[in-house]
Amino acid sequence: MDSIEVGPERQPPRLYCPANFSPTRTLAKSQRDLSDGLVYLAHTVIMRRVLDPRHKHRDGFVPLASQHIRRILGARHWPRIKQAGVDCGLVECDGSYRAGHRSLGYRLCEPYASAPWELREIHNPRLSRRIDEWRTQRRQRCWDEIRAGKRRVSPEVCEHLYHHLQRIQIDEDIPETLTNESAVAVDMIRRGQWRFDVDDYGRVHTNITNLRRLLRARLTVDGMRLVNCDIANSQPLFIGMRLQPGGKQAGRGEGGRKGQGSGQGSTICCALFGSLGKLSTDIERFIILCGGGKLYRFVESRLGDEMHYATLKRRVLATFYDRDSHRNVFYGILDKEFPMVMRGIRAVKRLDYRHLAHLAQRTESEFIFVRVVSRLLRERPGLFVTTIHDSVMTTAGDEETVKGVMLDEFKKLNIPATVRIER
């Protein structure tokens, strides 16, 4: 689903483009009419790199859906613009796609990829109008679906989060040694160009969710720094919360297909988590280790070799979420120590290995938005909150309030959990 770029209304579109890209010097005279189209193509690649870095293919290619680009550039002009972009060395295409699964990947070529990016105005009135109309339609469609309860997060919570998002500011004295992606992310925050999007599995995506940790430390609200309340070992914990005795997956039929599910959330948090004493021994041990924030180090101890924590975490999560046929030493350790957990995970991934990630994201969304943020909205409506998927950010001094609510909601589910404060 496309992200939503929200900016000031009725302003001529300004798009990001490599500063050293000059259509008048690069293009032949017969191609000069394609200049604005090439700027839009470069902007689209840049925005995917800034807002959706996890969607990058290998070697830096980002997928671009042709039907969306054709809608803006026109089905008749798009082939010419694409070819001109390749011929002049602005972009290259990986030529690899799978209908319904993966779009063609594009990336900027050198010297444009490493050059600073700047804003360019679009002079073509037809293209300018199409960009404005497309942005307006996407924004309207997103909020219409949110208010109709089709986006898994309630309208009240979305409007609350979006209102608070616009209160965020970022320091002016940030060092100039930023990557292009970070520089654009900072510029968008300063110009109030906010992205707000709820995906099919209930995750809320904003400018903050993909912002580097170094830059999050530079954010303020009403002059106060922000603090992050993060759930330890959250992804495996949410997986464990959805497993029942016998390795069965809880709530299999609940909104499993794309686009399904109510924006009001579901009853899984109340009905399916149950008492730890009723779970099999290894599922209970798995949840207790996750709740204490000790799962990754436990796996490391069985591995018999020290590993950088970020690498260790990435490898363990990849073992959970990857295809079941991709087995490694981590898989062997987890299967030996938590056989019922891994049996349940294999059952979830039997038809499609991606189902486990979707299940964890839905569980995360229901806990964060249906329980935590909704409760904060009721009890402390003026409290600033924004989310980074499985964590909640608030202003310094209010972190204990947010942490207390998160722990209390876990306690109601009889789930041991650790919430860490990241200042």
Residue 358's pLDDT is: 94
Residue 158 backbone class (left: φ over 0; alpha: ψ -120 to 50; beta: rest): alpha
Specify the pLDDT at position 264. Answer: 37
CA angle 335–347–316, rounded 5-degree value:
40
For the whole model, what pTM was predicted? 0.83
Q: Check residue 30 and give its pLDDT.
A: 84
Cα dihedral sign for 115, 180, 67, 35?
A: negative
pLDDT tens by residue, 286-327: 999 999 999 999 999 999 888 899 999 999 999 999 998 889
- DSSP, collapsed to helix, strand or coil, labels residue 15 as strand
* pLDDT of 258: 40
Q: Could you tell me which residues come within 8 angstroms of residue 150 by beta carbon, excluding any fewer than 6 positions away? A: 259, 262, 263
Instruction: Give percent of the chain above pLDDT 90.
Output: 70
DSSP designation for 349: T
Render pLDDT for 253-283 as a digit per residue (tens, 0 to 9). Answer: 444 444 333 333 333 333 334 444 555 688 9
The two structure tokens encoding residue 382: 């003026």
Distance CA 179, CA 167 (A): 25
Average pLDDT over the chain reads 86
The residues facing 16 across adjacent strands are 119
Q: Residue 88 — very low, low, confident or very high, per pLDDT cuts 50/70/90?
A: very high
